[in-house]
Amino acid sequence: MGHPRVAGVGLTHFGKHPERTTRDMFAEAGLTALDDAGVDTDDIEGVFYGNFIGEVSEDQGHMGPISAEALGIDAPATRIESACASSGVAVREAIKNVRSGESDAVIVGGAERMNNLGTAETTASLALAADDLYEVRVGITFPGAYALMADAYFEEYGGSREDLAHIAQKNHENAVDNEFAQFQYEIDIDDALDAPPVAEPLHLYDACPVTDGAAAAVIVSEEYAEDNDLDIPVRVTGSGQGSDNLALQDREYLTQTPAATNAADEAFDDAAIGPDDVDVAEVHDCFTIAEVLALESMGIFDHGDGINAARRGDTLPEGDIPVNLSGGLKAKGHPVGATGAAQIAEMTRLLRGDHHNSEYVSDASVGITHNAGGTVASTVVHVLEVDQ
């Protein structure tokens, strides 16, 4: 049957849009994706929609039908929730649907609205992705949880806040010319080091922002592309998903993320490639330490070696494996339910050559996306390849 193809993608600007509803933002991203694909709404046979906190931020559940209605599509529609990995899982389900032959054309994406809430409400809402019984009730927030992971990493492997600052600097620089990014400005190492603490050793520039936005992608079968004379160079050749215990106290490791390892292993086996074949990556850097954990757990770097990757230049645009050329969650933004689909959109544009940073990966043929939920209790990894 061949591999499903990413026929078109769409993004809204990521940032503060408290006046915009998720259905409004998803309509913008979805219709952009359909136009980019050259696919008519009548051909869409399924809608897969990622969203995390709609019940809290908009008093709205049952968002699948709303997502289809926003695009003017009459097809089965499903809302998928997996915390910060919501639309990553939605992408996986869309891929499986097309691969199985059930559908020839589907649309997948997600949206999140958070800036209409206050800081306390947003923090409480995001904490729903942690273990309420054993973490939230004793005061653990996600900055605190990732700070524990960073401290454990430094103790086991070494590293410093300056190493993390190099990651923040890189991702901010990558986002400068990204029209969809929340933070389109550079920072230097001192800016990151001198920023106020969020949860030691993590400071302000180690953390992604609170973001509103939406993303979408049209996925079609190879047969549909051929039958409709569509030139679609990017295909999804691998997909994998992994899970772990929800609470950090129940994990075997604080310095590794087995859910990401399992998801990557499955995706690499599916695509018949290995980590050494990867040319470019978009990974879930909700905090700077999360980029390190992602790259190591997927086998891109050995454990203990990823902390210095940005400082060495390995993950810079000119490096051996550019990471987060979009700016990542750190600078592009993290509208939780939209992030996984946004990574697919960014990687598709990078590989097909119409991304603002495509010049750095003009010879790339294999890209991966890594989308994680909570403290990496859920992970989805996708392998995208481009026809040469």
pLDDT digit string (tens) for 171-211? 999 999 999 999 999 999 999 999 999 999 999 999 999 99
pLDDT tens-digit series, residues 31-59: 999 999 999 999 999 999 999 999 999 99
Nearest 5°: the CA angle 149, 301, 330 is: 55
Report the candidate in 169, 224, 259 with the shortest Cα–Cα distance to residue 45: 224
**Superfamily for 5-118+214-386?**
Thiolase/Chalcone synthase (3.40.47.10)
Q: pLDDT value at position 2?
A: 85
Distance (Å, rounded) from C-alpha 377 to C-alpha 374?
6
Distance (Å, rounded) from C-alpha 175 to C-alpha 309?
19
What residues are labeled active site? 84, 334
Is residue 129 within 8 Å of residue 374, measured between CB atoms? Answer: yes
Report the candidate in 329, 245, 319 with the shortest Cα–Cα distance to residue 291: 329
Q: pLDDT value at position 1?
A: 62
**Domain chopping of the chain, boundaries:** 5-118+214-386
Only one residue has tokens 């600078």, namely: 331
pTM score of the predicted model: 0.98
Tokens at residue 77, please? 């529609």
Q: pLDDT value at position 111?
A: 98
Q: pLDDT value at position 7?
A: 98
Distance (Å, rounded) from C-alpha 193 to C-alpha 29?
36
Distance (Å, rounded) from C-alpha 258 to C-alpha 284?
15
Distance (Å, rounded) from C-alpha 194 to C-alpha 203?
8
What is the DSSP pairing of strand 366-373 with strand 280-282?
parallel
List the pLDDT tens digit at each of the 388 positions of the chain: 689 999 999 999 999 999 999 999 999 999 999 999 999 999 999 999 999 999 999 999 999 999 999 999 999 999 999 999 999 999 999 999 999 999 999 999 999 999 999 989 999 999 999 999 999 999 999 999 999 999 999 999 999 999 999 999 999 999 999 999 999 999 999 999 999 999 999 999 999 999 999 999 999 999 999 999 999 999 999 999 999 999 999 999 999 999 999 999 999 999 999 999 999 999 999 999 999 999 999 999 999 999 999 999 999 999 999 999 999 999 999 999 999 999 999 999 999 999 999 999 999 999 999 999 999 999 999 999 999 7
